[in-house]
DNA sequence: CGACGCTTTGACTATACTCAACCCGTGTGG
DNA sequence: CCACACGGGTTGAGTATAGTCAAAGCGTCG
């Protein structure tokens, strides 16, 4: 696997830990970053400092890979700015979008505890900053502060829940239902508003829902025809009949 | 949600902790049980005893539910004897088999750290014994022995890995490929032997792979016609051409 | 403005589901 | 010991669903 540009940058950084600009960035980024993460936000200042001491800050340009499938998984990555998409390539080479990370989310934990390689790709969707913690350093912290482990466990279990739900959805529901449920899911993020703003373009949405852009397009048209939704613009959809949508 | 028979039994047991037969069973089951679990098997005798002190032993008959969707998730269940199938019902009421637990496997952890209800069903496939640990007791143990947390984290991350892989499989591969990969997966459990013994009947297999028994039947016939496999008996399949199978 | 990539639409095809009938192996009861 | 019932498994016909490929529309960004 090729090293991504981001990877190279990180190494450069580590070669010169006293680089002024980076050090400045580092301090700033870390504070925002660490305090954002739900896993750490119950900690005392002292413990925070300890964690900050073992983290590095790295930034990536749009399209750069944070890591690729096949790369050694030895760090936890916490997003402090920007968006990262996590995707997989299936046996047959099709891309499937797994999730999109926003500031405060983290990734790389999958293989963190079982010394292995990544099976997925992480790509910056825009100018993005991440804080990284080495596998080994994190383990020490977890052993020292067991309460963090519980937080991580909680996060894992909810992700596992989510993932199994997703798998069941793919296995048992047809595309139209998956789209309808996706819209509903996007909606309740946005409170009571009946207007959904799609968090990604239709191509990514297709990949996320395990279908094709053509089918997304057609099914949305069908849902509109049935009077359940109204497509306002490319990424805006108004829900006209929630019950109808759920009964698809 | 109805209480399952197993649930009732557990409560009976707790009412009478000095029941001779049960106490005898308890000791035996616990030792086998705890020592089987990868999460605990690195511990000292002392710690083991401590864990054993907070676990209960419960047994279930074939077809009984260990828990149902909607039940409060407040315990970890470790299988000491028998088999348990974990399945979900999708929005549309279709059943999907998620996994089958064998002695040493555990379940119930999903919601353990986030005070919620089960979203899945756990059903004994035969005469089955499980050891249970209360949510709260487990948390205390994890806080006290952080090394166990790391083990649990490792287990979670591998399960998450597994589940995301499964989701991608459903989302991107056609049924024939899923079946082929399933066969291969069953194979390498059985070492080098080219003979696969299916770990479940075809109905469950269909549910696990997100398809129907009819399709399973047809696709296996296709694979046989193509010369990749030979169906020996209902649950025995011989792999004739592994590369062919993988290229499906 | 032009190019590129995303999106939509159409026609066609592949894939797998449904429903129904039938087969087979197992276990039960006469 | 056989007959039967039952459930799982298989087969067939018809249909629904969604994928592919190709072309054209639209938006955005240099």
Task: Identify the residue whose Cα has the smallest distance to the C1' of C15.
Answer: B174
Domain boundaries, chain A: 5-158, 173-246
The count of other CB atoms within 10 Å of the CB of residue A46 is: 7
Residue A96 CA distance to nucleotide D21 C1' (Å): 21
**Alpha helix ranges (H) inside chain B:** 5-15, 20-36, 45-53, 135-144, 146-172, 175-189, 202-208, 213-225, 242-246
pLDDT digits (tens, 9 = 90+) for B86-96: 999 887 778 89
Q: Are B168 and A90 in contact, with CB atoms under 8 Å apart? A: yes
A90–B173: do the CB atoms touch at under 8 Å? yes
Please tell me if residue A96 touches chain B, with a CB cutoff of 8 Å: yes
The count of other CB atoms within 10 Å of the CB of residue A201 is: 12
CB pairs under 8 A between A and B: 142
B110–A160: do the CB atoms touch at under 8 Å? yes
Q: Which residues in B153-190 are b (16+ Cβ under 10 Å) and which e? A: bbbbbebbbebbbbbbbbbbbebbbbbbbbbeebbeee
Q: Are A19 and A83 in contact, with CB atoms under 8 Å apart? A: no
B164–A113: do the CB atoms touch at under 8 Å? no
The count of other CB atoms within 10 Å of the CB of residue A153 is: 21
pLDDT of residue B168: 93
The helix/strand/coil state of A78 is: strand
| Among A239, A244, A243, CA closest to A186 | A239
B163–A167: do the CB atoms touch at under 8 Å? yes
pLDDT digits (tens, 9 = 90+) for A175-230: 999 999 999 999 876 566 788 999 999 999 999 999 999 999 999 999 999 999 99
List the strands of the sheet with B236-239, edge to edge.
B195-197, B236-239, B229-233
Q: Is the CB of B179 under 7 A from strand D?
A: no
B171–A209: do the CB atoms touch at under 8 Å? yes
Residues in chain B closer than 8 A to A163 (CB atoms): 160, 163-164, 167
pLDDT of residue A6: 40
> What are the strands, taking DSSP E only, across chain A?
55-60, 65-67, 75-81, 84-89, 95-101, 106-107, 121-124, 128-134, 195-197, 229-233, 236-239
Best residue in B171, B206, B208 for a mutation probing chain A (most A CBs within 10 Å): B171
| Among B172, B132, B160, CA closest to A90 | B172
Pick the CATH number of A173-246 from 1.20.1560.10, 1.10.10.10, 1.20.80.10, 3.40.50.10420: 1.10.10.10
A159–B158: do the CB atoms touch at under 8 Å? no
Which residue of A lies nearest to B180 if distances are taken between CA atoms? Answer: A91
B92–A166: do the CB atoms touch at under 8 Å? no
Q: How far is B157 from chain A (nearest CA, A)?
A: 5
Name the token pair of B20.
Answer: 């001779």
Q: What residues 99-158 of chain A have any CB closer than 8 A to a CB of chain B? A: 109-114, 119-120, 139, 142-144, 146-147, 149-150, 152-154, 156-158
Measured CA to CA in angstroms, residue B72 lies from A1, A178, B68, B69 at distances of: 45, 27, 9, 8
Pick the CATH number of A5-158 from 3.40.50.300, 2.60.120.10, 3.40.1390.20, 3.30.450.40: 2.60.120.10
Q: Is the CB of B192 under 7 A from strand D?
A: no
The helix/strand/coil state of A198 is: coil
Residues in chain A closer than 8 A to B172 (CB atoms): 90, 92, 94, 96, 210
pLDDT of residue A89: 86
pLDDT < 70 stretches in chain A: 1-34, 36, 111, 189-192
pLDDT of residue A191: 67
Q: Given the structure tokens 């005893």, which residue do they identify?
A: B49
Q: Is residue A245 within a helix (H) or strand (E), and if so which, with residue range?
A: helix A242-246
Q: Is the CB of B174 under 7 A from strand D?
A: no
pTM: 0.83
Q: Is residue B131 within a helix (H) or strand (E), and if so which, with residue range?
A: strand B128-134
pLDDT tens, per residue, chain B with 248 residues: 443 433 333 333 333 333 333 333 444 556 666 676 777 877 788 888 888 889 989 988 888 889 999 898 889 999 988 899 999 988 777 889 999 998 888 888 776 777 788 989 999 988 888 999 998 898 899 889 888 888 888 888 888 888 999 999 999 999 999 999 999 999 876 566 788 999 999 999 999 999 999 999 999 999 999 999 999 988 999 999 999 999 88
Residue A73 CA distance to nucleotide C13 C1' (Å): 42
Residues in chain A closer than 8 A to B169 (CB atoms): 90
Return positions of chain D under 7 A from a protein CB. 8-13, 17-22, 27-28
pLDDT of residue B178: 96
pLDDT digits (tens, 9 = 90+) for A79-95: 988 899 999 988 777 88
List residues, Cβ < 7 Å, touching strand C: A 201-203, 213-214, 216-218, 220-221, 231, 234; B 174-176, 210-212, 214-215, 219
Q: Are B101 and B109 in contact, with CB atoms under 8 Å apart? A: no
Q: How far is A17 from chain B (nearest CA, A)?
A: 30
The count of other CB atoms within 10 Å of the CB of residue A108 is: 24
Q: Which of A92, A149, A158 sits opposite B114 (nearest CB)?
A: A158
The helix/strand/coil state of B111 is: coil
B88–A165: do the CB atoms touch at under 8 Å? yes
């Amino acid at each position: 696997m090729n090293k991504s540009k981001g990877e190279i940058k990180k190494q450069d950084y580590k070669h010169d830990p006293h680089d002024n600009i980076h050090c400045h960035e580092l301090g700033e980024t870390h504070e925002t970053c660490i305090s954002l993460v739900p896993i750490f936000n119950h900690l005392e200042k002292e413990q925070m400092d300890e964690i900050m001491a073992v983290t590095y800050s790295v930034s990536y340009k749009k399209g750069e890979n944070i890591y690729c499938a096949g790369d050694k998984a030895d760090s936890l990555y916490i997003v402090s700015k920007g968006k990262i998409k996590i995707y997989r390539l299936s046996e047959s080479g099709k891309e499937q979008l797994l999730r999109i990370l926003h500031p405060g989310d983290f990734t790389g934990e999958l293989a963190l505890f079982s010394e292995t390689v990544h099976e997925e790709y992480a790509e910056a969707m825009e100018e993005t900053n991440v804080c990284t913690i080495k596998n080994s350093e994190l383990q020490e912290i977890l052993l020292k502060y067991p309460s963090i482990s519980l937080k991580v466990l909680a996060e894992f279990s909810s992700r596992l829940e989510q993932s199994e739900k997703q798998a069941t959805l793919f296995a048992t529901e047809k595309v139209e239902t998956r789209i309808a449920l996706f819209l509903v899911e996007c909606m309740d993020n946005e409170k009571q508003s009946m207007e959904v703003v799609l968090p990604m373009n239709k191509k990514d949405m297709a990949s996320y829902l395990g279908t094709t852009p053509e089918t997304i397009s057609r099914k949305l048209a069908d849902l509109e025809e049935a009077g359940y939704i109204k497509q306002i613009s490319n990424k805006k959809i108004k829900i006209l009949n929630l019950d109808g949508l759920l009964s698809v």
